[in-house]
A = this chain, B = another copy of it.
Amino acid sequence: MTFSFLSHLYCPKCMEKYQASLPQHLCHCGSPLLVHYDIDALKELWAPEDLKGRSPDLWRYHEILPLQDPTYITSLGEGMTPLLPLPTVQSDMDIGKLYMKDEGIIPTGSFKARGAAVGVSKAKELGIKELAMPTNGNAGAAWSLYAARASMDSTIVMPVDAPKITRNECALSGAHLFLVDGLISDAGKIVGKSVENSGLYDVSTLREPYRIEGKKTMGLEIAEQLGWRVPDVILYPTGGGVGLIGIYKALKELQQIGWIASDKMPKLVAVQSEGCAPIVDAWEQGKKESEFWAHSETIAFGINVPKALGDFLVLEALYETEGCATTVSDQDLLEEQKVLAQKEGAFICPEGAAAFSAARKLRKQDWIKSEDEVVVLNTGAGIKYPDTVQMEVPVLNPGDNL
């Protein structure tokens, strides 16, 4: 049996093709590369029944993932996160059906584990020994830990303001870790120079083609968990946007192989912070690409990305699905974080809270309809961000009464 139906890589801008058997980065035209599979063979040889009895992790979809030899699977048990019904918040927001895809229940505590699992596995298959990347925290944590699992070296550069716990994760993994007194874009420049000079394998967002394949498994899982159909709306907190691009790619592929109906796509929503909203700006102006957002700032650190390399792919997915892009304030997202904990017992991350806040806003604007089925991505565990919760707690002495 064929383990993967990987065919080749291609450039979504100039359509140039590339071999997948060699390490590849950007197209010569500057665009990220995407992975293509043999759709006809998949259609003929792969069926939903084949998944029965497979373990509940993202490798259950190996036919449509890029790894060709299972020997190189580098797994910490990632994937098949809960698609959790939220009946109380659903009523509260007056939405027909509301689900959270909870990416907090995953190794390293964030959805970055998916991209790292597939990206590191494929890098290992390609013979890579040492990788390098800039990060806002969670991606670095995931890639450095998966690299450790694969016995690969990693070099990670993150802003000094990135969440402290992600710094711990990288340090403990044995990565070569550096902080930069700046933004992820500054970290990116430092990594870029180092890659040029030393030949490290660059795994910056979308600079290698396989992270997106890991992320797309969120889309595969949502479709499987709904019984091979799609919801009306999916909201995604958007920094680099790889998850949104991945979900869109996954659902298109499922349509092409006939596993879901081909006449409906969910409206995809890119959620950004008021303090960093380049994609929203571009979408509002009907543009195909975003512009660098100067002096960006938000408590939802994972979506503090002033200019995403894949912005044009995110915008294409929004236009193609008749989705939208919208912003929320830090104050609103912190309020929504409380709502989810108190009404549903879910301690979500600030980025996930931003997406829920956007759902509330879009419902109020009647963009989301009262009968819609809506899936919100919570991209990580709230416990990774202890500083976003402020409170006063009474202190008793032994022997006191309540």
Residues of A within 8 A of B (CB): 52-53, 56-57, 74-77, 80-82, 84, 88, 102, 104-109, 145-151, 155, 157, 160, 164-165, 167-169, 171-174, 176-182, 186, 189-191, 193-194, 197-198, 337-338, 341-347, 381-384, 386, 389, 391, 393-402
Contact = CB atoms under 8 A, between A and B. Distances in A.
Contact of A160 (B198, B338, B344, B395): B395
Given A147-B345, A172-B382, 11 more contacts: A77-B82, A173-B341, A173-B347, A177-B393, A178-B396, A180-B397, A186-B398, A186-B399, A190-B399, A190-B402, A197-B401
Contacts of A147: 345
B180 A398 contact: yes
A344 B149 contact: yes
Contact of A180 (B174, B382, B396): B396
B344 A148 contact: yes
Contact of A345 (B148, B160, B197): B148
Closest 8 CB pairs of A and B: A77-B82, A149-B345, A56-B56, A186-B398, A172-B341, A145-B345, A148-B345, A174-B342
Given A147-B345, A149-B344, A338-B172, A181 B396 contact: yes
A400 B180 contact: yes
B107 A174 contact: no
A384 B383 contact: yes
A278 to B, nearest CB: 19
A81 B52 CA distance: 18
A195 to B, nearest CB: 10
A167 B393 contact: yes
A402 B155 contact: yes
B77 A172 contact: no
Nearest to A83: B77
Contacts of A341: 145, 148, 169, 172-174
Nearest to A387: B168
Contact of A81 (B77, B151, B171, B338): B77
B397 A182 contact: yes
A150 to B, nearest CB: 8
Contacts of A182: 397-398
B105 A106 contact: yes
Nearest to A132: B402
Contact of A179 (B53, B164, B394, B401): B394
A383 B169 contact: yes
A389 B393 CA distance: 26
A174 B340 CA distance: 11
